[in-house]
Structure 1
Amino acid sequence: MANDSVLTAEQGSTGGISLGLLATGRLSDHFQIRFNPTLFLGGSRYFSYTLGSTQPNEAKEQKQTLPTTIVSMPVHFKFNSDRIDNFRTYLLFGVKFDTDLSSNSALRNVPDIIKLRKNDFGLEGGLGFNFFLPFVTISPEIKFSYGLTNLLIPDPNLKYASVFQQLQSRMIVFSIHFED
């Protein structure tokens, strides 16, 4: 079989930067609905492999890097605590739809590289704080994102792809929102 030569395979990712907009609709004193379209830049997914048997001029350790540029469209429900002076905490949960703009790039059309689906659907949850200053509200938050879609496009002919049964996205996102 093509995958007999792969001893170990590990998935990883690198950090990046994101830019986004925030639209909030008030449902009640404590509940809001929020739409936060975001563009994630500069990150990449990578796969590290250790090969048991190699071809001539092939390294025993292999690494494949897939650049990513993701547009995320999350919709969250936000629960705000009571405001204490100039401070408030909040919880958020919701769904997201992601699309990878670099999924058809020339680098991804290399013959032996893993093929991933362009679109993903997932769940998000997080925690944040509002700091009310005289001219701006600063809101740091941390979100945990869990993709529900199997991103792997199975291809038994690809030596590196056949070692995985499924791949799902997971992200931890720290962001700071500035509101006036």
Structure 2
Amino acid sequence: MRKLIAIILIAICHHTAQAQIFSGERVLNQQNFDQQRWSWGYFLGFNSYDFDFDYKDYNPSPVTGQDFAVEKRTGFNVGLVGNLKLSNNIDLRLEPGVNFNTRGFQALRADANTYREISSTYVHIPLLVKFNANRLNNFRPFVVGGLSTSINLSSNENNPDDNSAGQFRMTTNSYYYEIGFGIDLYLYYFKLSPSIRGVFAINDELIRDTDPNSLYTGNVEKMSSRAIFINFTFQ
């Protein structure tokens, strides 16, 4: 799926650039699209989640230089887009969606098998401000930033079992700030907007184990998610 989307995107960009930049063609697609007060769409994309740790006492493994190892994997995003035009170059966007991801997690300062597989399903709701450059033919670069919240449906926050029973627990609700960039491509039938965005949690997402000396939580002051989103928005 990723390879297919990449091939399609490259072909579209190549065809549009060749037609408009090299040949000098000035055929504008979707000429009145940006005049709309409201516009709607949907997005598909990919994500990669990681953890960022702050420690009470930084004493990493002498072998690896860290207390924990996080195995990042590629997840999937899907959702809707609502766009409100505030001015010619500024839009307000609401992008509710669902993100699916799995991370591998392991405490390194132990001889026992401490590996945990953390599967997460997030209902993710960002409110973003989109700053658009002036349109150039059928291209329009933009930067985007804002705040978001998510509900982790797989958090195990209320599970009485902790890591001693094999359960890694996180908070259900999390809050983030986001910043990214992309480009609007005005095609014949619709507008395609590929973008890349960094997503950084503000709050501590770790639920501590009952044992204060737990290998997983005892030395952690704060654990926050961070992620990269690559989305393709269709409007």
Please report the TM-score for the alignment, with normalisation by the length of structure 1: 0.83
Change (3 A) 1:95 1:40: same
Moved more, 150-159 or 31-40: 150-159
Q: Deviations over 1:47-75 (max 9, x none)?
A: 122344x4xxx44xx31111100110000
- Output the CA distance in 1 between the equivalents of 2:233 and 2:70: 30
- Are 1:49 and 2:101 counterparts? no
- Number of matched pairs: 167
Report the equivalent of 2:99: 40
Aligned positions of 1:85-124 closer than 5 A: 85-104=137-156, 109=161, 111-112=163-164, 113-124=167-178
After TM superposition, give the deviation of residue 162 of structure 1 in Å: 1.5
- Output the CA distance in 1 between the equivalents of 2:73 and 2:153: 17
Q: Deviations over 1:77-135 (max 9, x none)?
A: 01111001000001111000011011139999455233211111110011010110111
Q: Deviations over 1:151-180 (max 9, x none)?
A: 01223514322232211010110010111x
Change (3 A) 1:111 1:146: closer
- Output the CA distance in 2 between the equivalents of 1:167 and 1:18: 23
Higher helix content, 1 or 2:
2
Report the equivalent of 1:64: 116
Change (3 A) 1:155 1:164: same
- Output the CA distance in 2 between the equivalents of 1:106 and 1:71: 18
| Structure 1 unmatched ranges of 5 or more | 1-5
Higher strand content, 1 or 2:
1
Asked if 2 retains the 8 angstrom alpha-carbon contact of 1:114 and 1:161, the reply is no
The one-letter code sitting in structure 2 at the alignment partner of 1:48 is Q
Moved more, 108-117 or 153-162: 108-117
| Structure 2 unmatched ranges of 5 or more | 1-59, 62-66
- Output the CA distance in 2 between the equivalents of 1:64 and 1:22: 34
Corresponding residue SS for 2:203:
coil
- Output the CA distance in 2 between the equivalents of 1:175 and 1:136: 16
After TM superposition, give the deviation of residue 46 of structure 1 in Å: 2.5
Report the equivalent of 2:74: 15
Corresponding residue SS for 1:166:
strand
- Are 1:74 and 2:126 counterparts? yes
Corresponding residue SS for 1:169:
strand
User: Which has the greater radius of gyration?
Assistant: 2
The one-letter code sitting in structure 2 at the alignment partner of 1:118 is T
Asked if 1 retains the 8 angstrom alpha-carbon contact of 2:156 and 2:169, the reply is no
Report the equivalent of 2:220: 164
Choose between structure 1 and 2 for higher RCO, CA contacts under 8 A separated by at least 6 residues.
2
Asked if 2 retains the 8 angstrom alpha-carbon contact of 1:9 and 1:163, the reply is no
- Output the CA distance in 1 between the equivalents of 2:129 and 2:108: 43
Q: 1:27 aligns with which of 73, 86, 89?
A: 86
User: Could you say what the CA RMSD is over the residues aligned between the two structures, in angstroms?
Assistant: 2.3
Moved more, 132-141 or 107-116: 107-116
Asked if 1 retains the 8 angstrom alpha-carbon contact of 2:196 and 2:229, the reply is yes
Aligned positions of 1:135-174 closer than 5 A: 135-155=189-209, 157=211, 158-174=214-230
